[in-house]
Each structure stands twice: as C-alpha cells, then as structure tokens.
Amino acid sequence: MLVLVGPSASGKTESAKIMMNKYPISRVVTCTTRPKRVNEIDEFDYHFLSWEEFLLKKKQGYFIETAHYNQFHYGTPKNELADDKFIILEPKGLQSFLKLDIPIVAIYLKTKEEIRIERMKERKDKIKDIKERIKEDKKEFNLKHIQGLDLVIDTTNLSLSEVADLIYKNYIDILEKKKAKINQLSLFED
C-alpha cells in the first residue's frame, strides 16, 4: 500500500486525484468529522460523519486507526483496506500502518510554507484555520521526527501532474524492491 503524508496544502489530495485517473491505483476513503470543503464530495473525498456517528463507529471497532487533527476526528475504516490502494494520513496514522503486516511505501510531500499558505487561501480556507494548520503542522509534520518514510518529494516547483507521476513511479520502484527483499529473506528462512 502507498501512504501519502505531508503538511496541509502540500498537494497530497490533488496530485493523488491525477494519479488515480492515470494509473491503476485507488483511494482508501477515510472518515472525518471536519466540515466538507466547497469542492469536496461526500463518499469520494471522505465519509463525512457527525461527532456522534464517528464516536459510535469507533466504539464498534469500525476503524483500523484514528487520529485527532486540528480539532477534528479522522479514522480509517477496516473494510477499505486493499493492497492496490493508497491512503493519505497524518504522521501518527503512518506509524499505525507501519505496524500492520502489509508492505507499505510511505512518501512525504514537502512544500515551502508561504506557498502552502497561498494555496490554502485559494482553496478558500478560513484565515483562522490556516493559522491553526500552519501552527499544528510545524509540530506534527517535522521531518526530523517522522519515522518510516521511504521518500521525500519537494513539490515546490512541480506541477500537480509531475507530482502524480513521481509519486506513482517511485511507489512502484520502492514496492518492488521491498517485495524482492521479503522474498529473499523467506528463502533464507526455508
């Protein structure tokens, strides 16, 4: 599975949409209690849930992992997981996924803060939300503290389409290398 990580407005969602249209990979649709953005579609971008619905599902064991980001809940439904999918997670979610018994390729998208702020403004995010995200991301998305990343892509000077191509190409290359290593190890064990 491919896990995409990156601070707000680094381009994860939009580059991934291009990647999905071009390559044989689909998305794990996660759940959130965050309000829908203007261009988002329920059941495609997220399963948008109320707090009550989210907490009930959490209690029922519906999620493989959950996270709290910028005052909202996020969670990965167990029934969405599949090898040929990608998922967009914050760093704690990545750590949970690394503990699962499946090959994971984790790619981090990095972009200059001033560019991210401009993108959030263009996305019509509220100024208060932008400030909170920038503050939270400084702590949560500090590259020095995120373990398990396979690759960091600086998207600052790349188009969304170039980012999509780079993500998919590197995902396939890294996955093949990881699978070959697993096969080699199992040969030694036999």
Ligand X SMILES: Nc1ncnc2c1ncn2[C@@H]1O[C@H](COP(=O)(O)OP(=O)(O)OP(=O)(O)O)[C@@H](O)[C@H]1O
CB 6 within 8 A of CB 109: yes
DSSP letters for 111-180:
--HHHHHHHHHHTT--HHHHHHHHHHHHHHT-GGG--S--EEEE-TT--HHHHHHHHHHHHHHHHHHHHH
Residues at the contact surface with ligand X, assessed by CB under 6 A: 6, 8-14, 119, 122-123, 155, 158-160, 163
Residue whose C-beta lies closest to ligand X: 11
Pick one of ligand LQESDW3C, ligand X, none as the site partner of residue 123 (Cβ within 5 to 8 A by kind). Answer: ligand X
Tell me which residues touch ligand LQESDW3C (CB under 6 A).
8, 30, 34, 65, 67, 69, 74-76, 88-90, 92-93
Binding-site partner at residue 130 among ligand LQESDW3C, ligand X, none, CB < 5 to 8 Å by type: none
Torsion-angle region of residue 11: left (phi > 0), alpha (psi -120 to 50) or beta? Answer: left
State which residue, 36 or 179, has the beta carbon closest to ligand LQESDW3C: 36
Q: How far is the CB of 135 from ligand LQESDW3C (least distance, A)?
A: 14
